[in-house]
Amino acid sequence: MSAQIAPPVRTAAPAAGRRRRWARQGSLVIGGGIVLAVVLVAVFAPLLSPHDPYAQNLTARLIPPVWYPKGSWLHPLGTDNLGRDYLARTLYGARISLLIGGAVALLSGIIGTVLGVAAGYFGGRVDLVVTFLITVRLALPVVLVALAVVAVVGGSLPLVILVLGLLKWDRFVVVMRSAAQKVRTLDYVSAARATGASTPRVLWREVMPNVLPFLIVTATLEAASAILLEAALSFLGLGVQPPLPSWGLMISEAKPYMFFSFWMIAIPGTCLAILIFAVNLLGDGLRDAISPDGRNSP
Amino acid sequence: MIAFVAKRLALALAVAVAVSILSFMLVRLSGDVATAIAGEGAREEDIAIVRATYGLDRPVLVQYLDWVWSLLRGDLGTSYYFKSDVAGLVLDKLPVTLKLGIASLAVALAIAVPLGVVAALRPNSWVDRAALAVAVVGQALPNFFFALVLVMLFSVTLRWLPVSGSTTAWHFVMPTIALGYYVAPAFMRLVRAGMIEVLGSDFIRTARAKGVPERRVVLKHALRNALTPVVALTVVQLGYLLGGSVVIETVFALDGLGYLAYQAISHKDLPVMQVVVLILAVVYVLLTLAADILNAWLDPRLRAGM
Amino acid sequence: MRRLFGSLVLSLALAATPALADKASNTVRFAYDQAPESVDPLFNNVRIGVIIGAHVWDTLVYRDPNSGEYKGQLASAWRQIDDKTLEFDLRRGVKFHNGQDFTADDVVYTLNFAAKPENKVTTQANVSWIARAEKIDPYRVRIVTKEVFPAAVEYLAGPVVIHPHEYYEKVGPKGQNEKPVGSGPYRITSHVVGKSVTLERNPDYFRDSPKGQPAIGKIEIRFIPDGQTRMAEVMSNGLDFIMSVAKDQADQMGAVPFLQVVSGETMRIAFMQINRLPETPTAPLQDVRVRRAINHAIDRDTMVKQIVGTGSRVINTICFPAQFGCTDEGATRYPYDPAKAKALLAEAGFPNGFEVDIVAYRERQQTEAIINYLRAVGIKANLRFLQYAAMRELIKGNKVGLTHQTWGSFSVNDVSAGTPVWFGFIGEDVTRDPEVRDFLKTGDTSVDPTARKAAYKTALSLIAERAYAVPLYSLPTYYVASSDLVFKAYPDEMPRFWEMSWK
């Protein structure tokens, strides 16, 4: 129900093709570039960071970043409320955010793709059941259910990934379903079916490659949304647990200091915003590349 | 039309049942309910008594049906923590959340519709790209972070707005903005895409050819058509807003359903938790039902699709 | 960005003309981080409930926080009849907020009600010593204790309040929470569950109360969970009084001219429990060397100096130093020595440490520091930060190996209100050593003060020697208030609004 998410429809592409191409590639290049940079930072965090992100020094707490009069190059981004190096924590934080975004997108992507492709390809009863499932899922308030489960079971990184993964497959289903419906009617798919290829084979060999672009776009956007959700859970103290350097948790711990040491909340906040911005931009760029009107997902 | 409504009603009912089962299960996740009710310093005997009095020794299915039956009679249970009627608590807090949700939606639409229309009139122009940039940046800014920045600017520094509470309309200004700006981008994209599609369609070309003034073409003919999917999205987003208000209500200590849910969650107040989840879900189901029927009425083609 | 905000906040917040708080309307606006389970002190065990309770209800006896001396409040005099019987003469002319007279029936009903386990008073230790209360005449009662219980008067001066019997019988604890009726210096004029409580001066408060007549007309208490929201409120003059502010924030707000920061030591101690029971989820904790290693791993001195704050001191036994019976004389001490901690762990067969769950419910920053200290010797502690009740459930269910606890002893100045809660085989005892229990029991029930002290001393040193817990430090408390408000910080963490006034 409320299938407002229509399949990609090609309408008359207006003029200004050159500018449009630039716009498309622009978001791809900028978004992709930033994401790549964050990935590199995450991978090489141990090499890049000057200190152990967990090493505390209670006698060197709340040192401001280097551009403040009291800052020093020993801790370029300063130290947190327990005297841990803020640069090291910020760099390692990229790992947590990417891990959460990637793992949640993977988990929910698998669930959503299976359901969506099945619904779109087989139609009929299967479609009805999947429609029902997705309606139930959409009716559940994600933040609240995630908070409740984490509160009841106890927060940890694997749990947060699992809960978000199990809650965020809805958009995959919608996108995959309409993509599979379209692919199903393509000539060579019909031909493959007619020649007696087995259903799993048709699905894997003919349908999957066709729906893959939509899957990638959706996965990108869902990864961004998962990262934000984790930050919100951690912000309320119900996400990943300290001393893990998650950006959401860093924001949460910097909260009490925000009125006097704004940099403490601004650094992880800005990192988070830039990453989400870049991932969304990348998703937009990819979407434009496969469906120029960006109509497949609101 | 009647067949369509009947089908939709059946689906809504099935979904409501499924959601109630899930809310019920949510509580069982936490282990033994009797121990939780018996509370501090309870001995085994006490727990056994609780188990018997609350009927927790019966089969789960019976317990579930019993719970649904009392819900239908309007008995939502008793809060473990606040020791008062859940129905009373919820009714008490619901208006604040509804006010916040509706106001945020209004803010979001007020930002999104003009921006979307302007962007669609000149696709890929700098206006369009600026609007898109606003959307992408808006979605990247975590709303709790944005909320704190608002507090810092408007309450602590400028002292224009009160920080927390829900006593006057001023208390709602910051929470509304913090919640509303975040859903605006989705509307904007939808309006833009819809407008581009409609503006390229035959009947708009006909209208233009007939010499209907451009202003009228855009506002009357095109926008009206482009807004149909917005109705459905509004409903989806209202559901999101009700859920998302947990974070914002907590930051602003706004005494609504989200804040109640946060308190219930942190005190493991299971009866309140499950009822809040259930209510939000049922509200969503009812809203989508209404939206679908409304849409089908506006656009008869959709009826066949069901 | 940071320049903009940094300078804006400081310059504007500092330069802003301080409004006259709510001095004009004689109202103190106060916010606390959580709502009480119930405002009825018998059914509450969080601090805010204790604070509200002390304003709305009276107790038989009043302990003067300045001299430590007991004074009659609802009782005018009392005497020990025998080892287990106390007799109280009651004050005449005291009225409850609903106009009813206070008599012996109220005392007898309340105490007998509270003493019955099936009525489920939240903290059983506060009332389980009561065998029964008897009415001698309308203004005289006797209280019989189950065992010899020298600390009785202390409890009667603290958590055991007196309810109006007819009203309480009619509405029960639930009604008393929704529409409370007490006899104290303030009455509750509005209680919006989970949101706010408004107290107004009781105009008929009895003249001779040791609490005196209140000067502040109205106290508006709101529950605001987020610390920085409370801070923003007090900095933007939306509140006049907040408490339990963390050291760092208090230090920062001290620079704001229209605010004052007051701090002092409290009776609340912080400590860690170590679950060594056969059912422990973390088997290594059963080894005394591991428990000692944990004790050696934490640098309490540095914690106190750097993050706990002014007024705090390191403790070496599980009790507040000023409590009757509390001593660290002869108790094993565990100085900060990570190398020794590692050696002990290796000796116990855990050279690479182990994983353990730790629960906590407040002072999260301190818990994190502890976790980092443990990490430094190889013990990987996973934090589960919960609300108090949820945390207790986990502890009682043997679901966690370590706890970061705090305990304020209900401001009762006697070891019996603290140590036995953790080592007396009640719900949250996760060490259950019968020897310790027996010594504590002797201390709780002996009449002779010297015998009591000796028994407590043995129990406390056994706990230290066997490293059943990690004694950390006493906690300070920081209040941030409008600079116009006159008030004093007491070690029992009880803001006494009835004593406060405006400059």
Write down all domains in chain A, each with its CATH number in brackets. Answer: 25-296 (1.10.3720.10)
CA-wise closest residue to B277 among B27, B77, B36, B105: B27
In this prediction, residue B39 carries a pLDDT of 56
Average pLDDT per consecutive 10 residues, chain A (298 residues; last block may be shorter): 38 50 73 93 90 90 91 91 93 92 95 91 88 88 85 82 92 87 77 76 78 87 90 85 87 86 91 91 82 45
Q: What is the mean pLDDT of chain B?
A: 81
To which H or E segment does residue B232 belong? Answer: helix B228-251
Instruction: Tell me which residue in A82, A155, A266 faces C368 most closely, judged by beta carbons.
Output: A82
Q: What is the ipTM of this complex?
A: 0.82
Which chains, if any, share at least 3 CB pairs under 8 A with chain B? A, C
pLDDT at C274 over 50: yes
Instruction: Tell me which residue in B152, B197, B232 faces A259 most closely, judged by beta carbons.
Output: B152
- Are the Cβ atoms of A147 and B233 closer than 8 angstroms? no
For residue C90, CA distances in Å to C76, C104, C142, C387 come to 5, 7, 11, 39
Burial A140-179, CB ≥16 within 10 A → b, else e: bbbbbbbbbbbbbebbbbebbbbbbbbbbbbbbbbbbbbb
In this prediction, residue B45 carries a pLDDT of 66
In this prediction, residue B265 carries a pLDDT of 82
Interface test with C, best of B84, B164, B166 (most C CBs within 10 A): B164
In this prediction, residue C327 carries a pLDDT of 94
In this prediction, residue A2 carries a pLDDT of 36
What chain C holds in terms of domains, given with CATH numbers, is 265-477 (3.10.105.10)
In C451-490, the residues whose Cβ lies within 8 Å of chain A are none
Give the integer Cα–Cα distance in Å for B24 and B60.
10
- Are the Cβ atoms of C365 and A241 closer than 8 angstroms? no
In this prediction, residue A9 carries a pLDDT of 39
Chain B residues in contact with C389 by the CB 8 A cut-off are 39-40, 81, 267-268
Instruction: Tell me which residue in A151, A257, A263 faces C248 most closely, judged by beta carbons.
Output: A257
The answer to whether B281 faces chain A, any CB pair under 8 Å, is yes
Q: What is the mean pLDDT of chain C?
A: 89
pLDDT digits (tens, 9 = 90+) for C133-159: 999 999 999 999 998 888 899 889 988
In this prediction, residue A121 carries a pLDDT of 85
Give the integer Cα–Cα distance in Å for C127 and B171.
43
In this prediction, residue A82 carries a pLDDT of 92
pLDDT at C331 over 80: yes
- Which one is predicted more confidently, C107 or A153? C107
CA-wise closest residue to B17 among B290, B278, B242: B278
Give the integer Cα–Cα distance in Å for C316 and C329.
9
The pLDDT > 90 percentage for chain C reads: 64
Give the integer Cα–Cα distance in Å for B24 and B19.
8
What chain B holds in terms of domains, given with CATH numbers, is 88-270 (1.10.3720.10)
CA angle at B84 for the pair B79 and B85, rounded to the nearest 5°: 85
In this prediction, residue C26 carries a pLDDT of 93
For residue A118, CA distances in Å to A125, A220, B196, C196 come to 10, 22, 32, 52
Give the integer Cα–Cα distance in Å for A275 and A31.
9
Instruction: Check: CB of residue A91 under 8 Å from CB of residue A45.
Output: yes
DSSP letter at C157 equals: T
For residue B259, CA distances in Å to B91, B94, B164, C16, C492 come to 13, 10, 12, 32, 30
pLDDT at B43 over 70: no
List the structure tokens of B190. 């939808």
Give the integer Cα–Cα distance in Å for B61 and C503.
64
Q: How far is C465 from chain B (nearest CA, A)?
A: 28
- Which one is predicted more confidently, C452 or B130? C452
In this prediction, residue B303 carries a pLDDT of 55
pLDDT at B168 over 60: yes
| Residue labelled with tokens 């509270």 | C114
Which chains, if any, share at least 3 CB pairs under 8 A with chain A? B, C
Phi, psi of C133 (to 5 degrees): -120, 140
pLDDT at B42 over 70: no
The answer to whether C307 faces chain A, any CB pair under 8 Å, is yes
Q: How far is A196 from chain B (nearest CA, A)?
A: 30
Which amino acid, B186? A
Place B44 in a pLDDT band, splitting at 50, 70 and 90. Answer: low
| Residue labelled with tokens 């440490």 | C353
Instruction: Tell me which residue in B8, B125, B136 faces A284 most closely, judged by beta carbons.
Output: B136
The answer to whether B82 faces chain C, any CB pair under 8 Å, is yes
- Are the Cβ atoms of B266 and C173 closer than 8 angstroms? no
The answer to whether C301 faces chain A, any CB pair under 8 Å, is no
pTM: 0.81
- Are the Cβ atoms of B229 and A4 closer than 8 angstroms? yes
Give A44: exposed, middle or buried? Use CB within 10 Å, 0-12, 13-18, 19+.
exposed
Give residue A181's Cα distance to chain centre: 26
- Sign of the alpha-carbon torsion through C309, C311, C316, C320: negative
In this prediction, residue B32 carries a pLDDT of 64
Assign C433 to helix, strand or coil.
Answer: coil
DSSP B43-108: -HHHHHHHHHHTTTTS-HHHHHHHHHHHHHTT---B-TTT-SBHHHHHHHHHHHHHHHHHHHHHHH
Chain A residues in contact with B26 by the CB 8 A cut-off are 145, 148-149, 152
Which amino acid, B108? A
Give the integer Cα–Cα distance in Å for C491 and C351.
42
Which amino acid, B105? L
**Interstrand relation of C70-72 and C61-63 (parallel, antiparallel or unpaired):** antiparallel
Chain C residues in contact with B165 by the CB 8 A cut-off are 222, 238
Give the integer Cα–Cα distance in Å for A93 and A254.
14
Give the integer Cα–Cα distance in Å for C381 and A284.
41
Place C5 in a pLDDT band, splitting at 50, 70 and 90. Answer: very low
Size of interface A-B (CB pairs under 8 A): 174
pLDDT at B213 over 90: no
Give the lowest-confidence range in B181-185, B221-225, C16-20, C448-452: C16-20
Give the lowest-confidence range in C105-114, C120-129, C278-287: C120-129
In B235-254, the residues whose Cβ lies within 8 Å of chain A are 235-236, 239-240, 242-244, 246-247, 250
pLDDT digits (tens, 9 = 90+) for C38-84: 899 998 877 899 899 999 999 999 999 888 889 999 999 999 999 89
The answer to whether A164 faces chain B, any CB pair under 8 Å, is no
In this prediction, residue B223 carries a pLDDT of 80
Q: Which residue of B has its CA nearest to C425?
A: B41
DSSP letter at A50 equals: S
Give the integer Cα–Cα distance in Å for C243 and C246.
9
Instruction: Tell me which residue in C9, C16, C194 faces B82 most closely, judged by beta carbons.
Output: C194
List the structure tokens of C468. 């059943």
DSSP C70-96: EEESSEEEEEEEETTEEEEEEPSS-B-
Give the lowest-confidence range in A50-59, B287-296, C164-173: B287-296
Q: Would you list which residues of chain A are within 8 Å, Cβ to Cβ, of chain C?
A: 54-56, 58-59, 61-62, 81-82, 84, 151, 154-156, 237, 241-243, 253, 255-260, 262-263, 266
Instruction: Tell me which residue in C246, C252, C306 faces A59 most closely, judged by beta carbons.
Output: C306
Q: How far is B90 from chain C (nearest CA, A)?
A: 11
Cis upstream peptide for A243 (omega within 30°): yes
- Are the Cβ atoms of A262 and C2 closer than 8 angstroms? yes
Residues 6 or more apart from C375 whose CB is under 8 A from it? A54, A243, C381
Place B304 in a pLDDT band, splitting at 50, 70 and 90. Answer: low
Radius of gyration of the CA atoms of chain A, in A: 22
